[in-house]
Chains A and B, each alone.
Chain A
Amino acid sequence: MHKSIVWRLMVFLMLIPSIVFADQLLNQIKNSINTPPIIWGKFIQNRTLTGVSKKLVSEGYFLVDKQRGILWVTEKPIYQTLVVADAGISIKNKSGTLMNLDSRNLPSVKYINELMLAIFSGDMNAIERVFNYTGEVTSRGWSLDLTQKNISSAVFKSVVINGGSVVSRITLISREGDVTDILFTEVKPIAALTTDEISKFQ
């Protein structure tokens, strides 16, 4: 009993710095993070789905264009492209379209897009609007623990973002317990999209 009180007190004390510095936290991250209009990078994704024994590991590259959205190209073990854009969300492979959610008919798809874009581009203003957050900034980088402010509309139970000058790791935990862990490498700003890339957004 006594032990549990001490434990709680310690947790509480540990929370204090992050509460006190909550306002400064995002500012500090904003100062350290680069958010160029377009970034390119490689990813390794690990998914653990509830009720599925196989660990789903995939690799590929991604593009985050603040204007157009997210292009997510999985190369291994299967080839497919996921586009999250203003027009909607679509998944295609070499044989054609597998899934398509049109955001013109479904405004809520736009909401999911904005959520994903905020997370993947490290847009702290957008993150602040949607999430409650705790986190820390060290000399090696920063980490943010996000929970959606509005629980009833929450897509994720929690989101953890790690980064330095760019986002280096994102962990998404869905309401049902699916865990998606994504590591980013070779992340760099790029000046413009190729015509092939632009066509993928359309």
Chain B
Amino acid sequence: MKYRNFNRAIALTLFLVAVGLAFWMFANLDFIGSRIDGNVFSLLPKSERNPVAEEFVNRIAKSGEKSAVILIGSSNLDTALAAEKEFRFQIKNLDLKSLSLEGGLTEYIAVLEKHKSGLVTPEDELLLKNQSARFWYERSNALAYSPSNVGIPWKDDPFGLLGNWLNRLVGSTKVYPQGDSLIASQDSVSYAVVPLEINSSIDSIQSQNILADAINLAIENTKDKYQGISVIRSGVVFIASDTSKTAQRDIAVIGLVSAICALILVASIFRSFYAIAAVLMTVSIAFLYAFLTCIYIFPKVYVLTLAFGTSLIGMSVDYCLYWLTGSIGDNKSPFERRRYLLPGMLLALATTVMGYLLLIMTPFPVLSQMAVFSISGIIAAWVTVIFLFPFITKLRFSSNKANALPHFIQPGFFGDISILRYLLISAILLTSFYGAFTFKANDDIRSLASFNKSLVKEQSEASKILDIPSPSQFFIVTGSSELEVLSQTDALTKKLDALISQGFITGYRAITQYVPSVEVQNNASAAYISPNKDEAIKKVAKEMGMRPNWVKSETQVSSPITLADISILPIYKRLNYLWFDSSPSVRSTAVLLMGVKGEESVEQLSRLASSEVDWIDKPQEISNIFYRYRKLFSYIILAGYFLTFIAIYMKYKLDSWRAVIPPIFATFITLAILTLMGESIGLLSIIAFALLLGVGTDYGIFLLQYPRDRRILFSISIAALMTLISFGSLSFSSVPALHSFGLTLLIGVSLSWLLTLFFAKRPASDA
């Protein structure tokens, strides 16, 4: 009696704690909402790279995250500008800053003038070396008699040398002002460019979604008013919002489908309201603990965790089913039943949790979170079944037609007809070999990216029109001093110039375009003091009636410009992300690239790397990490099977292979089927196989533990069906990662169930 009371106390405590937590959660929905992270970029693996490069990647990503650009295009510039006005009116109340044109060019030019002897284009340098005094005299006159000199007054740049240098720098921007607007054009379409900065108040998915929706609505309204315009969106906010919405829709649909299917199944088997209530309660408690554990451990809970976590419904239902089917037509007391089921359930829990623990070892924060979510949820479900179910007195069911189903399921079938059995075994072996040796691996991160294709297209179109450098492929030049870094950068850009002329890239952005290295400036200065040019300047000075000291100022070598000269200017704000003083002895700078054209360009670019020049290729790096972890995971699975085998062996000795072999063959045959379906195998499929190890061995364990219990056979069949429902529904997800995970498990679990029955020991009573 004491034992019973003790148990009752535990059950009551567990129940009250769960109810309390549920109340707490509902009371703090706002807080919980703020802890959900919809940012797809946080799903990328923790990098293993050097901190300087990482800092750069972060900076470039950060500057990209808060900004967005809308391009409003029309073949008629006036239409584009009118539509822009309408669009700006539509978004005027949103949480956005419209970026204005950054000025500061005048101050920059004033600084340049002080260092002009070193600021000469390579073309002019050549002319300075080769051209006669007459040429320079005529060039100076030509500029004086032209209707207008742009930017720099004639007296400060009588040969247009600095003007040419400046034009090469600022002239390459594809965006130019037109009245109050910014204009870019491509293929006879004029675009009004609307650069936007998202206010820092936009930090949660909800506010991000609201903003993206509002901008999209403004675009639609503008399009309605101005037929025929094209609008191109560029910005992380659109992709992030779209992805989080897809994920949320998937959660809703997949969660609902698996829940409804689970309930229909339970209702048709047990025909009892209490059975349904018990299942719902278990699932809710599992979800509650899973979610709260993640909130407790992680600063943010990823939307994808929740999407993945819906499969937890299926897993926690499994434990209910073992109990509930165990109660059909059973006269044991609840505590006897618990003692009866405990060994099987404990081993099943242990092997499943082992499967999920393997997930924690991956470098992807979202996967470790999924594992924590699942482990805590499953343990909560298990505890609920073991400690609460014995007190739900109404969980006692009589047999009905549905319960007769297991009589058609025959463990160890085809046991008698040995030829057929051997044929089947050889077929299993052959297919397994086929799967093991023909599958196509694919570790390309881009094949897992679930980003909306049209948005990605818009993004790349915008980059092309505006010539935005790539945030994921660039160089980092590191050295011990500014001098060293700038000269290394100049050496690199010289090589990049060659790649531009060969068409591998369209351009680059480097700090040396603003502050050339001392070598480059010294070479320019050496050319600048050309005797022919100096002869011309004297003649020009005489004719134009210049002051005597003018000749001196136009013939002397000035000191080289340094970063310190421009770091105080407003224009530097646009450049400072290129420069990084990581420590007093380490300086580095990024060289960003425009128009990188496919693999061949990447190949060419990667060859430019050296000990001082790092080639950063983020997608390739992630793909490499995927590859490495896919390999690692394969070994972990092998180890997992070995450990599971040992765990089972301690109890079931020689029969243990019956629990371990089925999921192994299921894995290989799944590989074969996926290959035949044209699916390639990535890290996510391998992770699915790791889970199959946990789930699949459960069936075998239960058959080994209760070989004569028809109810258990029934349980594992329903459990397999439930898992199919929950994981199968994941294969319908539009998130490719979830899809391949779901599909792999859908096939794997079916096969595993089938093979478990196939390899099961025939019950003694039937023999």
Chain A residues in the interface with B (C-beta under 8 A): 45, 47, 49-54, 56, 58, 72, 74, 77-78, 80, 82, 91, 93, 95, 98-99, 101, 105-112, 116, 125, 129-131, 149-153, 155-156, 172, 174-178, 180, 182
Q: What's the Cα separation between A132 and B579 when bound, in Å?
A: 39
B135 is contacted by which of A52, A98, A150, A151 (Cβ under 8 Å)? A98
Please give, as numbers and ranges, the residues of chain A lying within 8 Å of B183 by CB-CB distance.
111
In the complex where A56-B144, A150-B177, A150-B180 touch, is A108 in contact with B149 (Cβ < 8 A)? no
A54 engages B148 (CB within 8 Å) = no
In the complex where A50-B153, A178-B153 touch, is A107 in contact with B78 (Cβ < 8 A)? no
Is B81 among interface residues, defined by CB-CB distance under 8 A?
yes
Please give, as numbers and ranges, the residues of chain B lying within 8 Å of A107 by CB-CB distance.
171-176, 184
| Smallest CB separation, A55 vs chain B (Å) | 10
Please give, as numbers and ranges, the residues of chain B lying within 8 Å of A131 by CB-CB distance.
179
Given A91-B143, A155-B151, 10 additional A-B pairs, CB 8 A? A49-B155, A78-B142, A107-B172, A108-B172, A108-B173, A116-B147, A149-B179, A150-B179, A153-B101, A155-B148
Majority secondary structure of chain A interface residues (helix, strand, loop or mixed): mixed
Is B655 among interface residues, defined by CB-CB distance under 8 A?
no
| Smallest CB separation, B648 vs chain A (Å) | 70
Please give, as numbers and ranges, the residues of chain A lying within 8 Å of B154 by CB-CB distance.
49, 52, 178
CB closest chain-A residue, reference B467: A107
| Smallest CB separation, B109 vs chain A (Å) | 10
Please give, as numbers and ranges, the residues of chain A lying within 8 Å of B104 by CB-CB distance.
152
Please give, as numbers and ranges, the residues of chain A lying within 8 Å of B176 by CB-CB distance.
107-108, 110-111, 153
Please give, as numbers and ranges, the residues of chain A lying within 8 Å of B144 by CB-CB distance.
47, 49, 52, 56
A52 is contacted by which of B103, B151, B167, B545 (Cβ under 8 Å)? B545
Give the top 9 A-B pairs by smallest Cβ distance, nearest first: A106-B171, A152-B103, A53-B545, A51-B155, A111-B176, A153-B177, A149-B179, A176-B153, A108-B171
A82 engages B171 (CB within 8 Å) = no
B167 engages A172 (CB within 8 Å) = no
A54 engages B543 (CB within 8 Å) = yes
B545 engages A172 (CB within 8 Å) = no
Q: What's the Cα separation between A45 and B550 when bound, in Å?
A: 25
In the complex where A52-B544, A105-B172, A125-B78 touch, is A98 in contact with B167 (Cβ < 8 A)? no
| Smallest CB separation, A172 vs chain B (Å) | 6
Is B565 among interface residues, defined by CB-CB distance under 8 A?
no
CB closest chain-B residue, reference A159: B148
In the complex where A52-B155, A129-B78, A152-B103 touch, is A109 in contact with B171 (Cβ < 8 A)? yes
Q: What's the Cα separation between A88 and B101 when bound, in Å?
A: 24
Is B168 among interface residues, defined by CB-CB distance under 8 A?
yes
A80 engages B168 (CB within 8 Å) = no
A-B pairs with beta carbons under 8 A, tally: 144
Please give, as numbers and ranges, the residues of chain B lying within 8 Å of A172 by CB-CB distance.
147-148
In the complex where A54-B544, A93-B142, A98-B139 touch, is A180 in contact with B160 (Cβ < 8 A)? no
Q: What's the Cα separation between A93 and B547 when bound, in Å?
A: 28
B77 is contacted by which of A45, A80, A129, A177 (Cβ under 8 Å)? A129
| Smallest CB separation, A111 vs chain B (Å) | 4
Q: What's the Cα separation between A53 and B542 when bound, in Å?
A: 11
Chain B residues in the interface with A (C-beta under 8 A): 77-78, 81, 101-106, 134-135, 138-139, 141-155, 160, 164, 167-168, 170-180, 183-184, 543-547, 550
Please give, as numbers and ranges, the residues of chain A lying within 8 Å of B168 by CB-CB distance.
105-106
B172 engages A106 (CB within 8 Å) = yes
| Smallest CB separation, A177 vs chain B (Å) | 8
Majority secondary structure of chain B interface residues (helix, strand, loop or mixed): mixed
Q: What's the Cα separation between A98 and B134 when bound, in Å?
A: 11
| Smallest CB separation, A27 vs chain B (Å) | 15
Interface pairs (14), CB distance under 8 Å = A51-B153, A51-B155, A52-B154, A54-B545, A80-B138, A105-B171, A105-B172, A106-B172, A108-B170, A150-B179, A153-B177, A155-B150, A174-B149, A180-B148
Please give, as numbers and ranges, the residues of chain B lying within 8 Å of A82 by CB-CB distance.
142, 146-147
A56 engages B179 (CB within 8 Å) = no
| Smallest CB separation, B642 vs chain A (Å) | 64
CB closest chain-A residue, reference B545: A53
B139 engages A129 (CB within 8 Å) = no
Please give, as numbers and ranges, the residues of chain A lying within 8 Å of B546 by CB-CB distance.
51-53
B146 engages A91 (CB within 8 Å) = yes
B167 is contacted by which of A51, A95, A106, A129 (Cβ under 8 Å)? A106
A129 engages B171 (CB within 8 Å) = no
A99 is contacted by which of B139, B174, B178, B180 (Cβ under 8 Å)? B139
| Smallest CB separation, B466 vs chain A (Å) | 11
Please give, as numbers and ranges, the residues of chain A lying within 8 Å of B175 by CB-CB distance.
107
B147 engages A129 (CB within 8 Å) = no
Please give, as numbers and ranges, the residues of chain A lying within 8 Å of B146 by CB-CB distance.
72, 82, 91
A129 engages B145 (CB within 8 Å) = no
Q: What's the Cα separation between A45 and B149 when bound, in Å?
A: 14
In the complex where A101-B171, A153-B101 touch, is A80 in contact with B544 (Cβ < 8 A)? no
| Smallest CB separation, B146 vs chain A (Å) | 6
In the complex where A98-B135, A99-B142, A108-B170 touch, is A152 in contact with B153 (Cβ < 8 A)? no
A112 engages B150 (CB within 8 Å) = yes
A129 engages B544 (CB within 8 Å) = no
Please give, as numbers and ranges, the residues of chain A lying within 8 Å of B177 by CB-CB distance.
111, 150, 152-153
A78 engages B141 (CB within 8 Å) = yes
CB closest chain-A residue, reference B168: A106
CB closest chain-B residue, reference A77: B145
Please give, as numbers and ranges, the residues of chain A lying within 8 Å of B179 by CB-CB distance.
129-131, 149-150
